[in-house]
Amino acid sequence: MAGLIQRTTKKLECLAARNKVVYNVLALYYKRIVNKEIRLADINENDRILCVGGGPCPFSGILLHEHTKAHVTIIDNDECCVEVSKQLVRKLGYEDSIKIYHGDGSDICPEDYTVIHMAVQVSPLDKVFSCMKQKCKLGSKILVRIPKKHLSHTYNVHDLTVFNAFNSRANHLFRNIDSTALFIIY
């Protein structure tokens, strides 16, 4: 069971990256979530967003840019996903506003970003989050998608308690994500 959701998501995103109809249908799943996150963190065009965990079809990064016009950088630790997502971003005409790199979330220096967005598939989510939190500059905002408790065993999260001290959160009904937690670095 472990990894089933991630593998299924990756396969669907690979298909969406190559097929416009599938892309548009799957984008519907993310639009409400991303719009809630934009309101939660008060994201605007002046923000510089780092998305940790983009996958082959980085819906969240793309939607964050489309809805705010902010510059977005996406990192993913899967080289194949990075190449597929670069092709998609180029096809959408966003290559000047959305940059995609291969890398590990624990190794990235987030100092140049005002908002860090962490996908629920980031692994291990709690450890990468703790790393980001230590490296961020004051005033930075971290958005973390938290899995539903009954699904947390399918994600690589060792300690959900590291997410208890959030500043605010947006709940997501009828999703595998329980909520997006907002942390503001003071």
- Domains in the chain (CATH in brackets) are 1-185 (3.40.50.150)
Task: With CA atoms as reference, report the closest residue to 166 among 19, 17, 32, 40.
Answer: 40
Q: How far is CA 48 from CA 42, 56, 183, in A?
A: 12, 21, 16
State residue 174's pLDDT score. Answer: 85
pLDDT tens, N- to C-terminus, the chain (186 residues): 557 888 899 999 999 999 999 999 999 999 999 999 999 999 999 999 999 999 999 999 999 999 999 999 999 999 999 999 999 999 999 999 999 999 999 999 999 999 999 999 999 999 999 999 999 999 999 999 999 888 877 788 878 889 999 999 999 998 889 999 999 999
State residue 2's pLDDT score. Answer: 57
Asked whether 145 and 118 are in contact (CB, 8 A), the reply is: yes
State residue 157's pLDDT score. Answer: 82
Asked whether 140 and 110 are in contact (CB, 8 A), the reply is: yes
